[in-house]
Structure 1
Amino acid sequence: MNEPPQRDHHIAPFDELAAHAGSRGYRLVREPGTPPGWALLDAADGEPLYAAETLADIARYLDD
């Protein structure tokens, strides 16, 4: 039988959030060495738009 491939339902939080950010015109990156550990950049020009300490903070920002 030709069954569809199994979907991976264990997507890493970063991957899922990065895809969500991308759908809104952002690129999610890690900001090493700075107090806010994550940043959303404009997908077109790389301009920093928002920074946060946690992925949960980034998720809340994207959902607002």
Structure 2
Amino acid sequence: MTAEQSRPEISAAFDVLAERARNSGYQLIREPHTPAGWALLDAADGEYLHTASSLTEIARYLDE
């Protein structure tokens, strides 16, 4: 996501990716106090599985 994108665009992108993550057995969360910024957790036990600095990177991970 770029700095030019508005909060509603980011929120919509988050909603789409959060649903994709849920369908894959993950939970997508915002990690504002870490350099990565976003994290995918295992939905069953909350274990961190992947972190990324952008929602675009999260989408790429889900595409793999």
Aligned twin of 1:53? 53
Q: Normalized against structure 1, the TM-score is what?
A: 0.82
For the residues of structure 2 that align with 1:12 and 1:32, how far apart are their CA atoms?
Answer: 18
CA-CA distance at 1:54 after TM superposition: 0.1
The structure with the largest alpha-carbon Rg is 1
Unaligned segments of structure 2, at least 5 residues: 1-8
Pair 1:30-2:30 in alignment: yes
Aligned twin of 2:5? none
Question: Alignment partner of 1:15: what SS?
Answer: helix
The structure 1 segments of at least 4 consecutive aligned residues displaced by more than 4 Å after TM superposition are none
Structure of greater relative contact order (alpha carbons < 8 Å, 6+ residues apart): 2
Residue by residue, what CA displacement relative to the aligned partner does 1:8-61 show, whole Å, maximum 9, x if unpaired? xx8800000000000000000001111000000000000000000000000000
| Worse overlay, 11-20 or 29-38 | 11-20
Unaligned segments of structure 1, at least 5 residues: 1-9
Aligned length: 55
The letter of the residue matching 1:63 is: D
